[in-house]
Amino acid sequence: MNSQMPDGANLQTSELDRDQVIFVIKCGLPGRNMPAFDRLAYEDDRCLGRTRADLRRMDLDLFDPASTLQQREIERLTDFLFAKVIGQGPMDRAACIEFWGSEVDACGELVR
């Protein structure tokens, strides 16, 4: 729905647990268009035991997010995702309107 950001994983059918989601948000997925939202993620080896230099040697891209998040923000985002998105099944029209609002054109394309 947003041409400025790449398509991501379908979290509605995700089987990741809370700790795994926190890790992915913090550390990103090098080479897979998911940025690391921890400002220091690859400055030391806290993520995957690798640094930015290691990622460059492995020819893995990791683009910077528009802004970073603090640990408590990552945890709150994760809790929101579990409450509203993860494991909630496929998006239908009612869920789309509840999440995005009725003025979003994309909701009209979904089955009731």
C-alpha to C-alpha distance for 46 and 25, rounded to whole angstroms = 13
Q: pTM above the 0.85 mark?
A: no
Q: Which stretch of DSSP H or E encloses residue 45?
A: none
Specify if 8 maps to a domain.
Answer: no
Specify if 34 maps to a domain.
Answer: yes
Q: Give pLDDT, residue 1.
A: 47
Specify if 47 maps to a domain.
Answer: yes
At 11-50, the pLDDT tens digits run 888 889 999 999 999 999 998 889 999 999 999 888 989 9
Domain range for 28: 13-109
Specify if 2 maps to a domain.
Answer: no
Specify if 31 maps to a domain.
Answer: yes
C-alpha to C-alpha distance for 40 and 112, rounded to whole angstroms = 44
C-alpha to C-alpha distance for 41 and 62, rounded to whole angstroms = 11
**What crossing angle do the helices spanning 71-84 and 18-27 adopt, rounded to 10°?**
130
Q: Quote the number of domains for the chain.
A: 1
Specify if 6 maps to a domain.
Answer: no
Q: Is the pLDDT of residue 57 over 70?
A: yes
Specify if 70 maps to a domain.
Answer: yes
